[in-house]
């Protein structure tokens, strides 16, 4: 959403990156040997906006997520490649019906103040997260837990929640439906533990430096609002011996150009994003630092099925879907390495084979010919062209894409599309009311690594179903998927659901999101993953090759 102002100045000057290059990395048992490590292990990460909160149960938004994953640890956590691994729980059992999870906490689990981390802490925390008084906006993450909906709506007290401690280090969670992705949910901030005593002592101020007691690899050292947030290694973390970075500093820099300049001036190791209009320049000048990787997100446009011209108009919608050239869109328009997509669930979701429609493998000419045939079949022609509005929230990128789609429709079909841009909240409201919209920008970033996060959007009752899409087969399948325990069967059912949704064309898929950032080539210990979750605890900084002090310095002198 950040608006970048005048990035033109970054263009012509300054040849290839002359940033300090790392020394050769030498690993021993998968860990770098001390002599290759920089003396100062302080990582500076760009973090977009100021985080909304550091209270894990109130947190939303990507910036808070990054910091909270360093500060706290759930029962499960994620490996650098995104796999779910044991966190505060060292192991667990799942009952045969998939409804009862028993977690065995690590005996050496501790809070940053030295207090032991117990099953009772988790009972307290998950109840707090579900408590209506807390008013967590990620409460829906708790839905799989028994009685969670009733507790969230205030019908049942918090102790009715399906979470109990069997003994000091054993926790039991019961679910309403077997939820195969439940272990993924446990790595989400809304299920992190919070320290009861400090919460009770400090109230709303418990997340301030000095007050915040956390159980992750780092603890909060300073928080200068909208300037920086400083974390320092937590000496009581169970894995502290493997944590190499001593400190992590998060800078909330909203302006992409400013962030780029900060990186170029050597004042940052890891950017939050990069300016939209400078991809080519970055690819030429920072080839070693520019990192582009698929993200668990789909970018698409929705059709309002409750409004003309889209009521009962499968042919028209399919014509519009086929008429756009996604390769041109990603190569020439967005230009950021996005992956053209024809299906809903992005590639890279664990254990899932996406349902890709036939026309994905056609040539663009074939698609366009079919589009024209269907367009005529729907009753449109050069004399009676389709007139339609494409609505999007104000943003350079959305505008470029909408403009390209409009011109492709015009070129291939002769349809006349007008663009309407709206301020964010106005756009959201219009989309939700389904009264004025026809074609509108949409998209979804998955909450967890499972197709369900994408498919459930198309349930008739889902809050984000702004298309007015309702297919009873899809609703039934979604219901069955939630209770299906056999992975193979569940996989096939999800595939079938995706196939039906795509066949119905409630949306026009455009591309799969990618994350793009600059990472100092001395920073190691991280991997691309579709969730874009990068925990600082595994990272480290290598010495610079011409090593002076190991400190990042502006790379002006010296040149090549």
Partner 1 sequence: MIQEDIVRHGISRLMGLVPTLLMLITIAFFLIRVAPGGPFDSEKPLPPEIRANLDAKYHLDEPLIQQYFRYLGQILVLDFGPSYQYKDWTVNELIARGFPVSLTIGALAMVLAFVLGTLIGITAALRQNSWVDYGAMGFAMLGMSIPNFVIAPALILLLAVNAGWLPAGGWDWSIQRMVLPVITLALPVIAYIARLTRGSMIEVLHSNYIRTARSKGLPKRIVIGRHALKPALLPVISYMGPATAGLITGSVIVEQIYSIPGIGSYFVQGALNRDYTLVMGVVIFYGVIIIVLNFIVDMLYAWLNPRIRYDEGR
| Position 40 contacts partner 1 (CB under 8 A) | no
Q: How far apart are CA 117 and CA 97, in angstroms?
A: 29
Among positions 26, 27, 135, 416, the unique one binding partner 1 when judged by CB under 8 A:
135
Q: How far is the CB of 133 from partner 1 (least distance, A)?
A: 7
Q: DSSP assignment, residue 533? A: -
**Based on CB atoms, which residue is closest to partner 1, 118 or 134?**
134
C-alpha to C-alpha distances, 218 to 57, 61, 107, 108, nearest whole angstrom: 18, 20, 19, 16
Q: How far is the CB of 207 from partner 1 (least distance, A)?
A: 5
Question: Residues in contact with partner 1, total (CB under 8 A)?
Answer: 62
C-alpha to C-alpha distances, 557 to 244, 271, 284, 382, nearest whole angstrom: 30, 23, 20, 63
Partners of 416 in beta bridges: 387
Q: How far is the CB of 287 from partner 1 (least distance, A)?
A: 19
Cβ contact 212:219 at 8 Å: yes
Determine the longest span between alpha carbons in the chain, in angstroms: 77
| Position 401 contacts partner 1 (CB under 8 A) | no
Q: What is the 3-state secondary structure (H, E, C) of 104-147?
A: EECCCCECCCCCECCHHHHHHHHHHHHCCCCCCCCHHHHCCECC
Q: Which stretch binds partner 1 (CB under 8 A): 406-414, 428-436, 510-518, 534-542?
A: 428-436
| Position 253 contacts partner 1 (CB under 8 A) | yes
Q: How far is the CB of 190 from partner 1 (least distance, A)?
A: 11
| Position 435 contacts partner 1 (CB under 8 A) | no
Q: How far apart are CA 79 and CA 529, in angstroms?
A: 10
Q: How far is the CB of 189 from partner 1 (least distance, A)?
A: 13
| Position 14 contacts partner 1 (CB under 8 A) | yes
| Position 556 contacts partner 1 (CB under 8 A) | yes
**Based on CB atoms, which residue is closest to partner 1, 60 or 221?**
60
Orientation of helix 472-483 relative to helix 487-504, angle to 10°: 160
Among positions 200, 241, 423, 560, the unique one binding partner 1 when judged by CB under 8 A:
423
Q: How far apart are CA 456 and CA 530, in angstroms?
A: 19
| Position 139 contacts partner 1 (CB under 8 A) | yes
| Position 257 contacts partner 1 (CB under 8 A) | yes
Among positions 24, 204, 488, 559, the unique one binding partner 1 when judged by CB under 8 A:
204
Residue whose token pair is 């910036």: 63
Considering only residues 463 to 482 of the shown chain, the ones binding partner 1 according to CB under 8 A are 463-464
Q: How far apart are CA 32 and CA 541, in angstroms?
A: 10
Interaction pattern, residues 55-94, with partner 1; x per rule: CB under 8 A: x--x-x----------------------------------
| Position 396 contacts partner 1 (CB under 8 A) | no
| Position 247 contacts partner 1 (CB under 8 A) | no
Radius of gyration of the chain (CA): 25
């Amino acid at each position: 959403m950040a608006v970048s102002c005048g990035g033109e100045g970054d263009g012509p000057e300054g040849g290839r990156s002359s940033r300090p290059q790392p020394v050769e990395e030498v690993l021993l048992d998968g860990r770098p040997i001390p002599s290759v490590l920089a003396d100062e292990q302080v990582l500076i990460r760009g973090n977009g906006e100021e985080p909304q909160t550091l209270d894990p149960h109130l947190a939303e938004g990507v910036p808070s997520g990054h910091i909270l994953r360093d500060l706290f640890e759930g029962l499960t956590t994620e490996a650098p490649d995104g796999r779910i691994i044991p966190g505060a729980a060292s192991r667990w059992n799942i009952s045969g019906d998939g409804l009862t999870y028993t977690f065995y906490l690590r005996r050496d689990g501790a809070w940053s103040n030295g207090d032991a981390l117990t099953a009772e802490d988790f009972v307290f925390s998950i109840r707090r997260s579900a408590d209506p008084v807390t008013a967590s906006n990620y409460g829906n993450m708790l839905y799989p837990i028994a009685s969670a909906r009733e507790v969230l709506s205030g019908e049942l007290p918090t102790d009715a929640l399906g979470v109990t401690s069997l003994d000091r280090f054993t926790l039991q969670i019961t679910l309403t439906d077997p939820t195969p992705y439940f272990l993924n949910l446990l790595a989400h901030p809304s299920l992190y533990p919070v320290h009861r005593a400090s919460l009770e002592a400090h109230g709303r101020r418990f997340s301030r430096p000095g007050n915040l007691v956390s159980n992750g690899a780092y603890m909060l050292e300073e928080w200068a609002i909208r300037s920086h947030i400083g974390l320092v290694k937590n000496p009581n973390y169970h894995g502290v011996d493997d944590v190499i970075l001593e400190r992590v500093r998060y800078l909330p820099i909203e302006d992409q150009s400013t962030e780029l300049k900060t990186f170029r001036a050597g004042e940052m190791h890891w950017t939050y994003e990069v300016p939209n209009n400078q991809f080519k320049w970055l690819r030429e000048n920072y080839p070693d630092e520019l990192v582009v990787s698929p993200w668990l997100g789909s970018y698409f446009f929705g059709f309002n099925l409750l409004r003309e011209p889209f009521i009962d108009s499968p042919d028209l919608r399919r014509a519009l879907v086929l008429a756009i050239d996604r390769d041109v869109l990603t190569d020439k328009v967005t230009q950021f390495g996005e992956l053209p997509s024809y299906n809903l669930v992005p590639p890279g979701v664990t254990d899932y084979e996406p349902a890709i429609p036939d026309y994905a493998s056609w040539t663009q000419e074939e698609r366009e010919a079919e589009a024209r045939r269907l367009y005529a079949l729907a009753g449109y022609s050069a004399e009676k062209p389709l007139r339609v509005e494409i609505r999007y929230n104000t943003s350079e990128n959305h505008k470029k894409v909408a403009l390209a789609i409009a011109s492709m429709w015009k070129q291939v079909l002769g349809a006349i599309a007008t663009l309407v841009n709206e301020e964010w909240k106005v756009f959201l409201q219009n989309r939700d009311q389904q009264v004025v919209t026809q074609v509108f920008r949409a998209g979804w970033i998955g909450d967890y690594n499972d197709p369900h996060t994408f498919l459930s959007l198309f349930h008739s009752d889902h809050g984000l179903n702004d298309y007015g899409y309702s297919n009873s087969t899809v609703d039934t399948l979604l219901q069955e998927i939630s209770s299906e325990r056999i992975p193979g069967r569940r996989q096939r059912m999800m595939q079938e659901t995706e196939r039906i949704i795509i066949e119905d064309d409630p949306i026009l898929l455009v591309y799969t999101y990618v994350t793009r950032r600059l990472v100092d080539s001395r920073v190691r210990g991280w991997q691309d993953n579709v969730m874009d979750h990068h925990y600082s605890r595994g990272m480290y900084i290598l010495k610079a090759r011409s090593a002076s002090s190991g400190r990042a310095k502006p790379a002006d002198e010296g040149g090549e």
